[in-house]
Amino acid sequence: MLVLTEDVKKVLSLTDLVLLDIKHINDEKCKKLVGKSNKLELEFAKYLSDNQISMWIRQVIVPGYTNDTQDLLDLKHFISTLKTVEKVELLPYHDMGKYKWKQLGFKYDLEDVRNCTIDDISKAKKVLGIT
């Protein structure tokens, strides 16, 4: 359940635009990808919509993870339920930060994932019906 403090609500009442990243629309796949549920971010999007706060929805397109047609259709449906989405932005996954993980001695979980291409973004835009 989404819990916003009065201070956060006050800040949001003064906010013109929220950039909201949705890591994955499917909760189980989101947990697998980032280790957390997507429930709070989706509830937050509904809160923004219900309170007439403009937002841009951002989705990183990670080949093999977030570019499944059905998942994109589910994302499209979710976005259609929101009243204040001004823009949907697709961000191409890249591995430029991989070296940082290695320098810190951490395992890079997306080691075998290729960088997102212009074609991947074009296909996702087509499914989502955005330009």
| Residue 62: predicted pLDDT | 96
Domains and CATH numbers, the chain: 17-128 (3.20.20.70)
Q: In whole numbers, what is the pLDDT of the chain averaged over residues? A: 95
Query: pLDDT for 11-67, tens place per residue?
Result: 999 999 999 999 999 999 999 999 999 999 999 999 999 999 999 999 999 999 999
Helix axes 118-128, 69-80, angle to 10 degrees: 50
Q: What is the pTM of this model?
A: 0.90
